[in-house]
Amino acid sequence: MQHEPAQERRGILVPQEDELEQPPYLYPDYVGTRLRAPKEPLIILPKTLSDITGPIYGHHRPGELDNDLTRQHEGEPQGQKIIVHGRVLDGDGRPVRNTLVEIWQANAAGRYRHKVDQHPAPIDPNFSGAGRTLTDDDGYYRFVTIKPGAYPWQNHYNAWRPAHIHFSLFGRAFRSRLVTQMYFPGDPLFFQDPIFQSVRDEKARRRMISSFDLEATIPEEALGFRFDIVLEGRDATPFERPHA
C-alpha cells in the first residue's frame, strides 16, 4: 500500500515510508509488536466529514502553561530542568504551521504518573509529565520540562528504556496523528532497546536523538536540547506504527 508522498494531503499527515528508516509493524525483539502487529492486509478507511470539520484541539486551545511542564503545579518538580525546542518541517524544509505538538514523559526518577506504572520510583506531586503547544509561522515549537529518567520494563531480562520524550503531532484532524520518540545524546541504553533498534537504518536512528543546544540553554537554570521533526523525504523522522 502506498501513501500520498506529501506530509499533509487534505488534512492528513503522512510519514515517508521506508522499510529500513521506519519501524516495522512486527519487530519480534519488541515483544509488544507480536500481539499488536496486524495479521491481515491494511485497508484505507474512507474519510468522513468529521475528519475535516471535527474539533481540532479538543474543547480548548493550548493554554499559557501547557508548554511549560515545570509550572503546572504549586511547587517546582524535581530534576534537571531542560528546554526542548525545534521546528516541524516538510520534506522540502518548509515549516509546518499551526500544528498541535503534544509531549508526555516519565519524571526525573523514571516514573509515569499513571496507575499502570508501579515500579518502585517516587511520584513527583509537582510533575504531571504532559504538555502541548502549537507551531508558529516558522514551524517552531518550545517546551520547558524536566529531563526524564530511564526506567525498567519487562520486555526482556534486565530491560531498561533509555530516557525519552514521546511526541505526538496532528494535522487538521485527530485522524492525522503521528507519534515518535525523542532521545538524548550519548545514552548508554540505546544498544539494548528494541524500540530504538527497530529503526534499522543507523542514520535514521540518529534522527530520533536530540542535540545539546548551548544557545537555548538558560544560564544557571536549564539545559537546551534541539529536536527538529521532518515529516517526509530522505531526512524524515522515524514515526511509530499505529497499534492494530
pLDDT tens for residues 82-108?
A: 999 999 999 899 999 999 999 999 999
Span 197-206, average pLDDT: 92
Question: Running DSSP on this structure, what letter comes out for residue 222?
Answer: B
Supply 172's cell numbers.
487538521
What confidence tens digit (pLDDT) does each residue in 121-131 have?
Answer: 999 999 999 99
What is residue 173's predicted lDDT score, i.e. its pLDDT? 57
What is the length of the chain? 244
Active site residues: 112, 151, 161, 164, 166
How many H-runs (helices) and E-runs (strands) does the chain carry?
4, 13
* pLDDT at 61 > cutoff 80: no
- Residue spans of alpha helices (H) in the chain: 32-36, 49-53, 194-197, 202-206
Q: Does the structure show a pLDDT above 90 at 4?
A: no
pLDDT the model gives residue 149: 97
Q: What is the pLDDT of residues 135-175, one digit of tens each?
A: 999 999 999 999 999 999 888 999 999 999 999 998 655 56
Q: Could you give the percent of the chain with pLDDT greater than 70?
A: 73
At residue 19, the pLDDT reads 64
Looking at the domain covering 28-35+63-230, what would its CATH class be? mainly beta
For 1, 64, 188, the CA distances from 18, given in Å and listed in that order, are 12, 38, 27
What residue spans define the domains of the chain?
28-35+63-230
Cα 73 to Cα 33, 68, 109, 157, 168, distances in angstroms: 36, 10, 18, 37, 23
Report pLDDT for 14: 47
Mean pLDDT of 215-220: 97
